[in-house]
Amino acid sequence: MAEETEQKTVDTGLGRPPGKGTGKARRHLRGRQTDPTALAEVQAVLGPGQRRRDELIEYLHALQDQFGHLSTAHLAALAWDMRLPQAEVFEIATFYHAFDVVPDDAEAPGTVTVRVCDSLTCEVMGGRAVLDDLLSRYGTDVRILPAACMGRCDSAPVASVNRDYIGGATVDRVAAAIDGGLSADPAPESIGLAAYRQTGGYALLQDCSAGRRTMDGVIDALDAAGIRGLGGAGFPTGRKWRSVRAEPAPRLMAVNADESEPGTFKDRWYLERDPHRFIEGMLIAAWAIEAEAIYIYLRTEYPHLHGSLGKALDDVRAAGLFDLPVVIRRGAGAYICGEESAMLESLEGKRGLPRHKPPYPSQVGLFGRPTLINNVETLYWVRDAVTDPAPFLADGRHGHKGQRSFSVSGRVRSPGVKLAPAGITVRELIDDYCDGMQDGHSLAAFLPGGASGGVFPAKMADTPLDFGTFEPHGGFIGSAAIIVLSAQDPITDTVSNLLRFFKHESCGQCTPCRSGTEKAVALLERGDWDAEVLGDLATVMADASICGLGQAAASPLRCAFKYFPEDLP
């Protein structure tokens, strides 16, 4: 019987099942057998050549791009093709929200999928109504789903129709996109290579490559300018580069372009408008730590940047400005992959489960190598910090120094990325940079650091915005995503929205976060705002979660009880 099975697999082109070559290997795989048609389709999409384990997520993207979803037959065939256990491939495909895994007995989704953002800014700006109205207009004719922040909060509410993103979404605009009469919002004009070079662009990189600058000199300049990580943690950039360089070669670099914190869109903003400033900073960082390769982890919700960044890199390479391998990898819709160690797991083709630290990525990072991880915006400022540090050293406001890129969204007249003095207050930011509050709205609450940084009442809108200023109050500015709320946005809705987000995005690895967010959402959905029970949950999540997601999930609850007790049921 076993002989027969093996003969059949060989006959159908599946070859000999994997084994150690001793002749004693199992002659057919347990469980689901590989369908030869599905295998041929997988091989046609992925092309010839050896499969790389770390490219598994890219292969899943390629199959989904081709077929519109991932069938179990294709997943099983991919597992065969990569000589991986089927369970592993299924587990990874189902971890990521961007992949549509369709079981055998289920119907494949149609050719159009609409997603409507249900994260905080979009919800307050009417996203819920757009979602409900679309569902009632289309019923089951079109697949319509809620989705987490799409990184375009400045044009909330936002929806996507397949890979086209539409800001200021209304039912009619989404319907026009479904009918093919409206395409994605156009990207803003971008500074190309020639224009960038005309203003001195890439001169610093050339100075570095030609030995006219020393690695220590460049790192000292970053220290002097006070550059800190802008992905959220604010770690001093020069110190990070120095610590990676002190580790043994070969060293790698990974760029965090995952940008999925609700309310944050500055990395997209800068990559769209001035990609070469980022690329130059990235190449200088790679030079400073003598990286052997660079991996850019770009969120999949920025498909336009995948193309434009790839083209910009090609232009720079063709101009002879670098010859290092640079790989752009797409994320797959999991917020947790912005956490640096989860990002490394994802780059290795695995589920994005944060690693225990230490060891830190600077010691044991991507593929076990010392790895420098920086956020897009951190790298964007490298050239300026070294060649023109004055704005970084200038007085900000209220005794703070330098400048920050605030992603401002919500109830203001002019949302967007505002490059403003560090230490500016929310009230000043709204009045001086955002043309004030929208008509009919008065400031009631705000979030200084996206979903993770806490929620504060209007009476705290005169607190300076900078690293360290909100920590004593139970928050932080993180990636400087300022979400502005008005008296028309009940705090109970805000906290529920944030907890739903954390529940949805929890990777499930540790119990305090997985069960804590689940329990909190269940209580809030019942309208049960028991201070003692929710307070206990918040303490467990904050104290015992492995990573920043579970720790941050506690802060909306704590802020609600501390700052808005009179608004709770």
Which residues of this protein are in contact with ligand SF4, per CB under 6 A? 336, 354, 506-510, 513-514, 545-547, 549-550
Residue 454 structure tokens = 């806490």
Q: What is the DSSP letter of 197?
A: H
Residue 12, C-beta contacts closer than 8 angstroms, at least 6 positions apart: 36
Positive or negative torsion for Cα 307, 309, 315, 318? negative
Which of 150, 279, 291, 484 lies at the binding interface for ligand FES (CB under 6 A)? Answer: 150
Told to check if 156 binds ligand FES by CB under 6 A, we report yes
Identify which of 409, 429, 410, 427 has the alpha carbon closest to the alpha carbon of residue 419: 429
Question: Within 462-521, which residues bind ligand FMN (CB under 6 A)?
Answer: none
Q: What is the DSSP letter of 253?
A: E
Residue 519 structure tokens = 């329990």
Told to check if 122 binds ligand FES by CB under 6 A, we report yes
Which of 117, 444, 554, 557 lies at the binding interface for ligand FES (CB under 6 A)? Answer: 117
The CA-atom distances, in angstroms, between 134 and each of 124, 152, 176, 272, 560 are: 17, 20, 12, 30, 32
User: 457 and 445 in contact (C-beta within 8 Å)?
Assistant: yes
**Nearer to ligand SF4 among residue 460 and residue 513 (C-beta):** 513
Question: Within 336-395, which residues bind ligand FMN (CB under 6 A)?
Answer: 336, 338-340, 373-375, 378
Positive or negative torsion for Cα 69, 70, 73, 77? positive
Question: Within 515-554, which residues bind ligand FMN (CB under 6 A)?
Answer: 547-549
- Measured CA to CA, the distance from residue 80 to residue 169 in angstroms comes to 42
Residue 232 touches which member of ligand FMN, ligand FES, ligand SF4, none, C-beta under 5-8 Å by kind: ligand FMN
- H or E stretch at 418: strand 416-421
Determine the longest span between alpha carbons in the chain, in angstroms: 81
Told to check if 408 binds ligand FES by CB under 6 A, we report no
Told to check if 262 binds ligand FES by CB under 6 A, we report yes
Told to check if 497 binds ligand FES by CB under 6 A, we report no
Told to check if 233 binds ligand FMN by CB under 6 A, we report yes
How many residues belong to the chain? 569
Residue 233 touches which member of ligand FES, ligand SF4, ligand FMN, none, C-beta under 5-8 Å by kind: ligand FMN
Which of 55, 118, 123, 259 lies at the binding interface for ligand FMN (CB under 6 A)? Answer: 259
Query: Token pair 């951190």 is at which residue?
Result: 378
Told to check if 243 binds ligand FMN by CB under 6 A, we report no
Residue 230 touches which member of ligand SF4, ligand FMN, ligand FES, none, C-beta under 5-8 Å by kind: ligand FMN
User: 119 and 74 in contact (C-beta within 8 Å)?
Assistant: no
**Nearer to ligand FES among residue 155 and residue 545 (C-beta):** 155
**Nearer to ligand FMN among residue 227 and residue 429 (C-beta):** 227
Query: Token pair 């922040």 is at which residue?
Result: 149
Which of 74, 115, 152, 500 lies at the binding interface for ligand FES (CB under 6 A)? Answer: 152
Minimum CB separation of residue 298 from ligand FES in Å reads: 17
Told to check if 301 binds ligand FMN by CB under 6 A, we report no
Minimum CB separation of residue 257 from ligand FMN in Å reads: 7
DSSP 107-162: PPP-S-EEEEE-SHHHHHTTHHHHHHHHHHHHTTSSEEEEE---S-GGG-S-EEET
- Give the relative orientation of helices 531-544 and 511-525 as an angle to the nearest 10 degrees: 160
- H or E stretch at 217: helix 215-225
Residue 378 touches which member of ligand FES, ligand SF4, ligand FMN, none, C-beta under 5-8 Å by kind: ligand FMN
Residue 256 touches which member of ligand SF4, ligand FES, ligand FMN, none, C-beta under 5-8 Å by kind: ligand FMN
Residue 235 touches which member of ligand FMN, ligand FES, ligand SF4, none, C-beta under 5-8 Å by kind: ligand FMN
Minimum CB separation of residue 98 from ligand FES in Å reads: 15
Told to check if 288 binds ligand FMN by CB under 6 A, we report no
Told to check if 524 binds ligand FES by CB under 6 A, we report no
DSSP 348-409: TTS--PPPPSSSPTTTS-GGGS-EEEEEHHHHHTHHHHHH--HHHHSB-STT-BSEEEEEEE
Told to check if 121 binds ligand FES by CB under 6 A, we report yes
**Nearer to ligand SF4 among residue 238 and residue 556 (C-beta):** 556
3-state secondary structure of 240: helix
Instruction: Please identify, among the stretches 151-159, 399-407, 422-430, 451-459, the one whose residues bind ligand FES according to the rule CB under 6 A.
Output: 151-159
Residue 510 touches which member of ligand FES, ligand SF4, ligand FMN, none, C-beta under 5-8 Å by kind: ligand SF4
Told to check if 230 binds ligand FMN by CB under 6 A, we report yes
- Measured CA to CA, the distance from residue 345 to residue 367 in angstroms comes to 9
- Measured CA to CA, the distance from residue 78 to residue 58 in angstroms comes to 12
Residues that bind ligand FES (CB under 6 A): 117, 119-122, 149-150, 152-153, 156, 158, 262
Residues that bind ligand FMN (CB under 6 A): 229-233, 235, 256, 258-261, 336, 338-340, 373-375, 378, 547-549
